[in-house]
Amino acid sequence: MKTRLLAFLVFLLAAAAPAQAYELYFGDVHSHTAYSDGQGTPEQAFDHARFTAGLDFWTVSDHLEQFGPVEDPASPYAGRKEWDALKEIAQQKTEPGKFVALAGYEWGSDVAQGHMNILRTEEMPHYAQVFSYSKFLKWAYKTPDALIGFNHPSTNGPECSIFTNMKFIPQVASQTVFIATNVETDIPVYYLALDNGWRVAPMGHQDNHTPDWGLRPQITGVYARELTPDALMEAFESRRFYAATDRAIRLWFDAGGQPMGSAMESAKPVQLTLAVTHAGGAAIERAQLISNGGNPVQEWSPGSPSFKQTVSVNPPPKGQTVWYALRVTTAGGRFAVSGPVWITGK
């Protein structure tokens, strides 16, 4: 419990820094190689994401039940466990300040429930140990340093039966940091997760199974203090990121100067700042301030490549919490959705 309390306090304090404290970095935490059901090697994935796609960070997260020994006799890791090899490769491919390579894996044994990604852990459980969704969550609870999140949540359709209708599980809430928001049908599930109590932010996942790492439109923009593994993990844990289907969308959202991902208490109106720019010059067709229930609080039609607005919102009644997020759509039909802010009445 001490570990979880400390992590939550770090989440609250780190989120309070002003915008100038952060740099915006782009990458993904969900992709595959031949270590599971994808193609190519982790070395190729990291190099492609960095040098071909020009991204700042990349994660190889193959399916945990498919990890085995490295079978390629030409590999320097031949015969070693693929998970151990992936961790070592990620360390070798990381160049702080220029590129960060991360090793993760994807849980998905219980196909009726969905898939989840796991970051920031040295441990990989045997798939039989975590076969069901409930067993996986029990393992996660016993591994509090691991960061986890929901992958492609609208796979099972609009009924949202996936992840037990996004049922809130308080025991793992502090370490559950993201929900993939790759397509339009994922967005209502993100809102549902927030309504149910999850403190998650949206990520754009490419989920590559072919050697096109970094070239798909889905992307995650992360506000971190520097480009290092520790700084990215701190940003993930602070929910200081957004999902987009266009890397040119640069989005910022804060409450009282505290960035997306922040949680605060207030007895007075709070100023929300909404800002978005399309680096390629595409017009922002629609900007929406979204709150509980997935309902737009206000909506604008800028019609230009940049938009900034300040909105004052009243605090909720004492002890009650509301969330807010920014959603934008461009003239090309691409979208971005911010991490939320949570305001509790004081």
Number of domains in the chain: 2
In the predicted structure, residue 7 carries a pLDDT above the cut 90: no
Give the pLDDT band (50/70/90) at residue 9: very low
- In this structure, the answer to whether residues 218 and 307 fall within a common structural domain is no
- In this structure, the answer to whether residues 256 and 108 fall within a common structural domain is no
pLDDT at site 19: 63
- In this structure, the answer to whether residues 233 and 260 fall within a common structural domain is no
- In this structure, the answer to whether residues 33 and 168 fall within a common structural domain is yes
Question: Helix, strand or coil for residue 265?
Answer: strand
Please answer whether residues 276 and 242 qualify as being in contact, where contact means their C-beta atoms are separated by less than 8 angstroms.
no
pLDDT at site 160: 57
Name the nearest CA neighbour of 95 among 229, 221, 222: 229
Which of 212, 245, 278 corresponds to the end of one domain?
A: 245
pLDDT at site 157: 54
Which of 181, 215, 245 corresponds to the end of one domain?
A: 245
- In this structure, the answer to whether residues 181 and 258 fall within a common structural domain is no
In the chain, the largest separation of any two C-alpha atoms, in whole Å, equals 65
- In this structure, the answer to whether residues 238 and 263 fall within a common structural domain is no
Give the pLDDT band (50/70/90) at residue 11: very low
Q: Alpha-carbon distance 195 to 193, whole Å? A: 5
- In this structure, the answer to whether residues 266 and 231 fall within a common structural domain is no
In the predicted structure, residue 16 carries a pLDDT above the cut 60: no
Segments forming the whole domain that contains residue 336? 249-346
- In this structure, the answer to whether residues 297 and 206 fall within a common structural domain is no
Q: Residue 88 burial by CB count (10 A; 0-12/13-18/19+): exposed, middle or buried?
A: middle
pLDDT at site 111: 72
Q: Alpha-carbon distance 161 to 159, whole Å? A: 5
pLDDT in tens, 74-126: 999 999 999 999 999 999 999 999 999 999 999 987 777 889 999 999 999 99
Give kind and range of the element (H or E) at residue 87.
helix 82-93
In the predicted structure, residue 177 carries a pLDDT above the cut 90: yes
Which of 194, 213, 245 corresponds to the end of one domain?
A: 245
Reported pTM: 0.93
- In this structure, the answer to whether residues 211 and 151 fall within a common structural domain is yes
- In this structure, the answer to whether residues 272 and 240 fall within a common structural domain is no
Mean pLDDT computed over every residue of the chain:
93
Give the pLDDT band (50/70/90) at residue 18: low
Strands (E), the chain: 23-27, 57-63, 100-107, 115-119, 147-151, 176-180, 201-203, 219-224, 241-244, 249-255, 258-259, 263-266, 270-278, 284-291, 295-300, 306-313, 321-330, 335-337, 341-345
In the predicted structure, residue 10 carries a pLDDT above the cut 60: no
Mean pLDDT along residues 308-317? 97
